[in-house]
Amino acid sequence: MTRMDEVAVTAPKHHQSAWASARAGDFEAFFELHHERLFRALWLLTRNRQEAEEVMQDAFLRLWERWDRVVGGPDPAGYLYRTAMNVWRSRLRRAAVAARKVIHHIQRDDEIAEVEERDAVVRALAPLPPRQRAAIVLMDVLDLSSDQAGEVLGIKPVTVRVHAARAREALAHEMEERHD
Amino acid sequence: MTDVRERLKNATEFVTLPERPFERLLERRDRKRRGQRLASAAVAFAIAAAAVGGGVLVLFRLGQDHVETGGGWHSTKALALQSGEYFYLRVESSEEVDGRIRDEETWWGVDGSGEVRNDSTRQDKYPYPPSGTYGPGAFPIWSDVSDLSPDPSVLAAQLRQEPWNHFEGQPEFERMWDVASFLLTELPTPTPDLRAALFDVARDIEGVTVSENERDPVGREAMSLSFSDAKHGATWRLYFDPGTHQALAWTFSSDRGGESWEIFESGIVDAAGVKPEGEQWLVPPLEGAAR
């Protein structure tokens, strides 16, 4: 008959392994490291500060609920971005349904309105299809590779490149039109 | 094109960052849990009404008797939790994750009452489940599983849908493994019949290896389901009792070295705060484990 305290004594010295130190990573530190960058990118995607913060918080909360798995996995930041994109898409779907029922519609906020007034590129981002917007924000704002962005969006890297290229073309065209 | 990239990046500098973002995250987490507790109370009320009205739970139990596979632990308890019974779960982990070593005992009844003894570390950061004794509908839950079916085929379909299917970017088999292992290892509220159904669901996930005649990390007779990420050299393994299909342990190992585990003891008792005895156990208790 062996008791739990004996198990603990005979357990391997996990903390000596590199894996263990990574796994024991601190969620708060992870949050501090990633939240600002994610928030800025989400702001461009959602065009609304409040919406960006909601998506960011939901993504972090979902990650936190399963932090021991996420931090033990290969790419916690990738997991975060993937979750954020899923939350955003899910909220977009809900907003679309709500808009049809004339209950609620996400408005752009004053800060993005100011930037859009000034910058045609940002203004041209708004009407792009969500996939194109996501692709260009992931690749050009968050600097992910097409492989990484593909994992985040759940599509093939080549498809991400196509979406991003189309988005860039649209934005470049807008710049030429406006000569700015 | 570089100009497009720079202008987009520059644009993001204009947004005002949220104030106290981590504190606001904590507040949001608390609001979410309060909402789930309210949902739990509503479910508890519905279950109580059903039990009074027509013996629904009795019928349910008849259809969900415990699993017999010819080996493993024998329990006289049916896996469907009845009104007045409590599911006992003890979880201990071998090492800290984010500063926390789990050491929890929970008793949960279908009316949402129960008890929690949480001796885990870092409760300042991981306060759930908070220790205490809870009346009907007041047990602190943080993921409502009351709508999940103990029928494996129905359950598998449910887990492919929102709100369980969070990670659309992952291949489906990874998502299914993730959510099944989450429900089995993180939550005290899935009932034993639901846990047995989760075993069935997990066993059928693409890429999962089933191994018979194994021992869990503390030497209990077991079968295991393992899931490997060859690309990153990581393996997750869930050990189950061969008789009741209840989880015994959960391990994670890496090619980079190290293995961590969590160990489970579970049973069904007639009162919160009381440990199972004899055949109330759904898995071999640790005192009886041969190592």
pLDDT in tens, B130-172: 899 999 989 987 778 888 999 998 999 999 887 776 555 567 8
Span B211-252, pLDDT tens digits? 999 999 889 999 999 988 776 677 889 999 998 999 999 888
Helix pair A146-153, A157-178: axis angle to 10 deg: 110
- The minimal CB distance from A85 to the residues B18, B29, B169 is found for B169
Residue in chain A closest to B217 (alpha carbons) equals A7
Under the banding of pLDDT at 50, 70 and 90, the label for residue B93 is: confident
A100 touching B (Cβ < 8 Å): no
User: Where in chain B are the domains?
Assistant: 2-288
The three-state secondary structure class of B12 is: helix
- The minimal CB distance from A44 to the residues B11, B18, B263 is found for B11
Quick one: pLDDT at residue A4? 29
Cβ neighbours of A68 in B, within 8 Å: 97-98
Q: Smallest Cα–Cα separation from B71: which of B217, B238, B212?
A: B212
Quick one: pLDDT at residue A156? 86
Least confident piece of the model among A84-93, B125-134, B227-236, B277-286: B227-236
Cβ neighbours of B5 in A, within 8 Å: 140-141
State the smallest CA–CA distance between residue B28 and chain A in angstroms.
Answer: 8
User: Is the CB of residue B91 less than 8 Å from the CB of residue B108?
Assistant: no
Torsion sign over Cα A142, A128, A111, B8: positive
pLDDT at A19 exceeding the cut of 60: no
* CB contacts < 8 A (A, B): 179
Average pLDDT estimate for A137-157: 88
Label each residue of A86-108 as H, E or C. Answer: HHHHHHHHHHHHHHHCCCCCCCC
pLDDT at A180 exceeding the cut of 70: no
Residue in chain B closest to A48 (alpha carbons) equals B15
State the smallest CA–CA distance between residue A103 and chain B in angstroms.
Answer: 22
Give the residue with greater pLDDT, A125 vs B269: B269
State the smallest CA–CA distance between residue A172 and chain B in angstroms.
Answer: 7
- The minimal CB distance from A74 to the residues B3, B94, B232 is found for B232
Q: What are phi and psi of A23, to 5 degrees?
A: -70, -30
Average pLDDT estimate for B244-264: 83
Mean pLDDT score of chain A:
75
Give the residue with greater pLDDT, A138 vs B97: A138
Mean pLDDT score of chain B:
80
User: Is the CB of residue B108 less than 8 Å from the CB of residue B188?
Assistant: yes
Q: Smallest Cα–Cα separation from B89: which of B177, B192, B221, B178?
A: B192
Cβ neighbours of B256 in A, within 8 Å: 17-19
Give the residue with greater pLDDT, B178 vs B112: B112
Cβ contact, residue pair B94, A8, below 8 Å? yes
Cβ contact, residue pair A20, B142, below 8 Å? no
Nearest 5°: the CA angle B25, B31, B32 is 90
Cβ contact, residue pair B143, A65, below 8 Å? yes
Quick one: pLDDT at residue B109? 94
Under the banding of pLDDT at 50, 70 and 90, the label for residue B69 is: very low
Cα(A89)–Cα(B145) distance, rounded to whole angstroms? 24
Residue in chain B closest to A40 (alpha carbons) equals B12
Quick one: pLDDT at residue B226? 92
Residue in chain A closest to B236 (alpha carbons) equals A69
Window A:56-95, CB contacts with B under 8 Å: 57, 60-62, 64-69, 71-74, 79, 82-83, 85-86, 89-90
Give the residue with greater pLDDT, B30 vs A60: A60
Set out the domains of chain A in order of their start, with CATH numbers: 26-118 (no CATH), 120-180 (1.10.10.10)
Query: Residue B271 has which token pair?
Result: 């009162």
Give the residue with greater pLDDT, B66 vs B91: B91
pTM for the whole structure: 0.56
Q: Which residue is it, tokens 């959510």?
A: B179
Quick one: pLDDT at residue B59? 37
Cβ neighbours of B105 in A, within 8 Å: none
State the smallest CA–CA distance between residue A102 and chain B in angstroms.
Answer: 24
Give the residue with greater pLDDT, A67 vs A103: A67
State the smallest CA–CA distance between residue B147 and chain A in angstroms.
Answer: 19
Quick one: pLDDT at residue B37? 52
User: Is the CB of residue B114 less than 8 Å from the CB of residue B131?
Assistant: no
pLDDT at B47 exceeding the cut of 80: no
Neighbours of B259 (CB within 10 A): 19
B260 has which bridge partners? B252
B158 Cβ contact list (under 8 Å, min separation 6): B147, B148, B149, B164
pLDDT at B44 exceeding the cut of 70: no
- Burial track A108-129 (b if 16+ CB lie within 10 A, e otherwise): ebebbeebbeebbbbbbbeebe
Cβ contact, residue pair B167, A86, below 8 Å? yes
ipTM over 0.90: no
Average pLDDT estimate for B60-89: 67
Average pLDDT estimate for B195-210: 93
Residue in chain A closest to B10 (alpha carbons) equals A141
Quick one: pLDDT at residue A23? 40
Residue in chain A closest to B97 (alpha carbons) equals A24
pLDDT at B57 exceeding the cut of 80: no
Span A90-130, pLDDT tens digits? 777 665 554 444 334 455 677 777 777 777 788 888 888 88
Residue in chain B closest to A151 (alpha carbons) equals B169
Instruction: DSSP letter for B281, please.
Output: B
- The minimal CB distance from B16 to the residues A49, A73, A121 is found for A49
A31 touching B (Cβ < 8 Å): yes
- The minimal CB distance from A4 to the residues B5, B9, B92 is found for B92
pLDDT at B25 exceeding the cut of 70: yes
- The minimal CB distance from A17 to the residues B4, B181, B257 is found for B257
What DSSP assignment string belongs to B56-117? Answer: HHHHHHHTTPPP--SSS---SS-SSPPTT-EEEEEEEESS-BTTB--EEEEEEETTS-EEEE
Cβ contact, residue pair A74, B234, below 8 Å? yes
